[in-house]
Amino acid sequence: MILEILIFCILLYFHKRKGMKHIVILLTLVALLASLTVISVKAVSGMITFSVTDKMQLTYPIFYVMFIVMIASCVFQVKFLNQAMKLYNTTTVVPVNHIFFTTSAIIAGIIFYQEFLGAAFLTIFIYLFGCFLSFLGVFLVTRNREKEHLPQSYIDFGNIPGKQMLDKIQPDSNGLSYGTLPDGSDSTKSQSGEKKEV
């Protein structure tokens, strides 16, 4: 926990003070918060279950500490993930976040709750192989998606002689339809007529 908090503070310093907004920094912050979420959620759910089945646990201060940690870590995860989604493409953020989030959750469970203690080698191997297949599946699903393009809200005609242009505003056509010249003739017809004459 101390090592995790130390790494989080270092990354937060580089993110806030140095202005580093690299995807790895943002999603590592999300992953570190995710491991805190896993630890706190398991503690809260275990204490609630124990309160229902055996002895009341809701009177202990540790329950409320873990509940606050659970809520705070979820909120800040969403905050950093939203920053990453604004700066980078979804097809880049989703697979990297999935891998970082899952890895941090597994490591938190292994270290804090000793989930692999006494487990057979084959069980551990199958579990880790399943995680690898999950990572591979997310990568394959997201790699061929086209990049999102924002629709243009205006048509850029460039500079029109004799017209006052305002930035990013479509100029008034003054009753002219697209493809017509100021004298009323059709530009496509005039172009085809010129080609015939030549």
Cα end-to-end span (Å), the chain: 82
SS3 187: helix
Give the chain's domain count.
1
Judge whether 173 lies within some domain. no
Q: What is the DSSP string of 155-171?
A: ------TT-PPPTT-PP
- Cβ-contact 166, 157 below 8 angstroms: no
Domain boundaries, position 10: 2-143
Judge whether 61 lies within some domain. yes
pLDDT (tens, 9 = 90+) of the chain, 198 residues, equals: 788 889 989 999 998 888 888 899 999 999 999 999 988 998 999 999 988 888 888 889 999 999 999 999 999 999 999 999 999 988 889 889 989 988 888 888 888 888 788 889 999 899 889 989 988 888 888 777 655 444 555 555 555 555 555 554 555 555 555 555 555 555 455 454 444 444
Judge whether 150 lies within some domain. no
What is the CA angle 38-73-96, rounded to 5? 70
Helices and strands: H and E segment counts in the chain: 6, 0
Judge whether 121 lies within some domain. yes
